[in-house]
Amino acid sequence: MFLESIDKELLPTTLTQGLTTLIPKSGKDQLFLDNWRPISLLNNDYKIFATILAKRRKLTLDSVIDETQSGFMSGRHIMNNIRLVLDILDYPDIINDNGFILFLDFYKAFDTVEHNFILHCLKKFGFGEYFYSAIVTLYKNCNSSIKLAGGTSPRFNLERGIRQGCPVSPYLFLLVSQLLTDHITSSALEGINLINKELIITQLADDTTLFLKNKKQIPVAFDVIGTFSKASGLCLNVNKCELMAIKECAATTLYNLPVKSEVKYLGIVITKDQQARSSLNFNPIIEKTQRKLNQWLSRDLSLRGRILIRKAEGFSRLTYAALALHVDDKIIKEIDKMLLNFIWKNRTHYLRKNVLMNSYDKGGLNFLDFYTLNNTFKINWLKQLFRNPSSIWNTIPLHILSKVGGVDFFLMCNYDVCKIPLKLSAFYRQAFLSWSLVYKHNFSPHKYSIWNNRDILYKRKSLFIEHWFRNKIIFVFQLFNNQGLLLTYEEFLSKFNFPVPPLEYARVFGAIPSGVCMLFKFQHRVHVEEPFLLSPINTPVGKICLTGYPRKNNKAIRTLFQTNIVSLPRSMSYWNMFVADIAWKEVWQIPNKFLITNKVKEVSFKIIHRIYPSKTFIQNRFKLNIETFCSFGCNSPETVIHLFWYCPKVKVFWQKLCDFINDKIDSCFVLFWKDVLLGLISKHMQKDSGLLLNLLLILAKFHVHKYKFSGRKPCFTVFLSD
């Protein structure tokens, strides 16, 4: 059918039809039609046909679409667009001219492109006749109707616009946007000089940003885009276009456009103030997240359920901003406190965060804190620096790092981000701090760098002198003679054979700590022909963090940060006093082997961690004057071990369970208190019977727990029927 349709350039009638529904834009006045977003529903057969074309189209994207377009492209990321704008604002001195950033807004870009222009794009970029005919087939006689409250509107033909809901539509729009890029770059419009690279445009689908050399380029930009609009049908929404000065600008308005100090770009509030930038973006997200989490607290969720909601409602909202922005320590602590409070229902925290962060087999709940997550994002940013060193997105950070030896050398140095002898943006500082947390420097005399060293300081800043570095003077051992003494000025000039002013010599040699001098004086000298610089990619940590192997290695990166944070539960040492040789890994994993509700698993979890809410526990924990007799009516204090083992009424329940097991499963089975509290682990037991017995014990503990709070005594008959 598809081949026949392409030959005739005509689809069957049902495949040409669409149903358009209107979705309101959040936070906008719904009385205005502009604040509704049309979404089309198309025939499934049509989608299959279009998907085939889309997959073929994707194969050619990288050779056609410029790097500065991030939308709908595999391997490209929206954060690149945001980071580039922020980097330019953070480092305005690298821009020679008084440049401006013009944020363009097109009026319903997908819906206004002329069909003839789309077909012109296909020919312009050299697509074959067969693919051209396939696209003509998709758009010929296409029509739609509007979904209304009482039914649908009459059908109408679509004479323009890229079809909503069509799998091939995003890639067709990329061709249109690429033609816009080509038109702008070949025009008289002048962009900014970004370290010997001209930067004039970046795009995320239709979100277009222009980087202008000076204010005179603003009317030129509108004229150039106006010409393109006449040909393509794209219409510029001038009222929503925004202008921002890269450097200080006294003017408040230029060419009827207000010069703004704060702009919302791709969902991120852009401002030159780095500290305000963090709070402006995260405070509204934190407030919204807190409201959502409070709504969830009205539901009876298990501990694991709340951890899942924390990830879905918390991290999902915070991730986007954290990928592109520096996050203040104060905000990180506030977020972690909010998420941890939610886990414990805004009440007492019965377990420390570093215990919850353990994996399931170590007594934790795989709790991920925002501090670790944010550090992982910053490491991933460093990773893409190594992957794309020639990319326009990485021009500024690599230029900054070139002043301290380049990214490879800098990451191998024992640096302190607060002592680096150059201006680092808050985002860069946080990224380099994240790396220093996972890459540990083991002191070695022959790998102890002079440059960017936290111990070798001049006026409280680490050192870096470029011409020394170029002449391969890198490590401290190179500054010592065979007797283990620092080289004199004459010895230095003779050894390295390049001119150095006496003051420069004195600055470097005077910064070497006395302790290091003593170490070299009494250490055996090893002759090294040539200083060897190891790339961070070749280190064990670098292979995890910077190479992307394994492919999805975020978990491995998080583990590096969590290794020094997590701690084993205190309850393990308590139970070890009473039971010898506990196989803790198996104990923690027993409840996870069964498809049972988290509420049931939680009882075992709390018992082992010694946080089960028995009356004695509550009295001791909160110093309350409450009656502590057993809930099942006996006169003994209600401790955990009494409640689940020694209570006479519970003992009757366990005896009946043992009789049932002896009769149905294992005639030799004997139950002990440790089996009830910790789980049943025996090397001599068959796997299937062991699983069944542990399942019965877990369900039985939940039965005892449930009846404690219902005020009734455990009943084995009811337990079996349940």
Q: Could you tell me the end-to-end alpha-carbon distance of the chain, in angstroms, rounded to an integer?
A: 56
CA–chain centroid gap for 636, Å, is 52
What is the 8-class DSSP label of residue 252?
S
Any idea what the Cα angle at residue 218 is, between residues 215 and 223, rounded to 5°? 150
> In angstroms, rounded to a whole number, what is the distance separating the alpha carbons of residues 168 and 162?
9
Burial bucket for residue 594 (CB in 10 Å: 0-12, 13-18, 19+): middle
Question: What are residue 114's DSSP bridge partners?
Answer: 160
**Partners of 146 in the beta sheet?**
20
For residue 532, the model assigns a pLDDT of 73
Q: Per-residue pLDDT averaged across 258-274, rounded? A: 95
Across the chain, what does the average pLDDT equal?
91
Q: Say how far apart CA 346 and CA 561 lie, in whole Å.
A: 27
Q: What is the pLDDT of residue 534?
A: 84
pLDDT digits (tens, 9 = 90+) for 70-94: 999 988 999 999 999 999 999 999 9
Q: Tell me what pLDDT residue 646 has.
A: 94
Query: What is the pLDDT averaged over residues 492-520?
Result: 92
In angstroms, rounded to a whole number, what is the distance separating the alpha carbons of residues 4 and 8?
A: 6
| Other beta carbons within 10 Å of 693 | 21
Q: Are strands 192-193 and 457-458 parallel, antiparallel or unpaired?
A: unpaired
Contact 161, 111 (CB under 8 A): yes
Find the helix or strand (DSSP H, E) in which 209 lies.
Answer: strand 207-212
CA–CA separation, 199 vs 191, rounded Å? 6
Burial of 596 (0-12, 13-18, 19+ CB in 10 A): middle
Could you tell me which of 373, 376, 374, 379 has the C-alpha nearest to residue 542? 379
Q: Which pLDDT score is estimated for 525?
A: 62
Side chain identity, residue 607: I
| Percentage of the chain lying above the pLDDT 90 cut | 72
Minimal CA–CA distance to 201: which of 217, 185, 214, 224? 185
The two three-digit tokens of residue 460, written as one number: 């409280």
Instruction: Give tens-digit pLDDT for 373-417.
Output: 999 999 999 999 998 999 999 999 999 999 999 999 999 999 999
How much is the pLDDT for 333?
96
Domain ranges of the chain: 2-268, 273-350, 376-542, 571-721
Query: Tens digits of per-residue pLDDT, 529-539?
Result: 566 788 899 99
* pLDDT tier at 150, thresholds 50, 70, 90: confident
DSSP code for 535: P
Q: How far is CA 109 from CA 114, 138, 162, 206, 654, in A?
A: 10, 19, 9, 7, 71
* pLDDT exceeds cutoff 70 at 526: no
Structure-token pair, residue 153: 């509107």
**pLDDT-based confidence at residue 174 (cuts at 50, 70, 90):** very high
Angstrom distance (rounded) from CA 473 to CA 465: 10
- The yes-or-no verdict on residue 130 having pLDDT over 80 is yes
Q: Residue 23's beta-bridge partner residues? A: 37
The whole model's pTM is what? 0.91
Q: Which residues contact 435 (CB under 8 A, 6 or more apart)?
A: 378, 379, 382, 411, 545
Q: How confident is the model at residue 550 (pLDDT cuts 50, 70, 90)?
A: low
- pLDDT range class, residue 5, cuts 50, 70, 90: confident
The predicted structure's pLDDT at residue 289: 96
Tokens of 721: 């029927």
Check residue 683 and give its pLDDT.
64
Instruction: Give tens-digit pLDDT for 565-607.
Output: 999 999 999 999 999 999 999 999 999 999 999 999 999 999 9
Q: How far is CA 125 from the centre of its chain?
A: 36
DSSP string, 217-235: HHHHHHHHHHHHHHHH---
Lowest mean pLDDT among 426-440, 630-644, 673-687: 673-687
Residue 351, both tokens: 């377990």
State residue 7's pLDDT score.
72
The DSSP element (H or E) to which 496 belongs, if any, is helix 489-496
d(CA 270, CA 283): 14
Q: Is the pLDDT of residue 528 over 60?
A: no
pLDDT-derived band at 551 (thresholds 50, 70, 90) equals low
Q: Tell me how far CA of residue 208 lies from CA of 8, 76, 109, 317, in angstroms.
A: 38, 16, 11, 24
pLDDT confidence tier of residue 506, bands split at 50, 70 and 90: very high
What tens digit of pLDDT does each residue of 277-302 get?
999 999 999 999 999 999 999 999 99
Whether 614 and 643 have beta carbons less than 8 Å apart is answered as: yes
What distances in angstroms separate CA 460 from CA 89, 421, 475, 510, one per listed residue?
27, 9, 20, 13
- For residues 602 and 303, give the distance between their C-alpha atoms in angstroms, rounded to a whole number: 7
Q: Quick check: bond before 38 cis, omega within 30? A: no
Is 669 exposed, middle or buried, given 0-12, 13-18 or 19+ CB atoms closer than 10 A?
Answer: middle
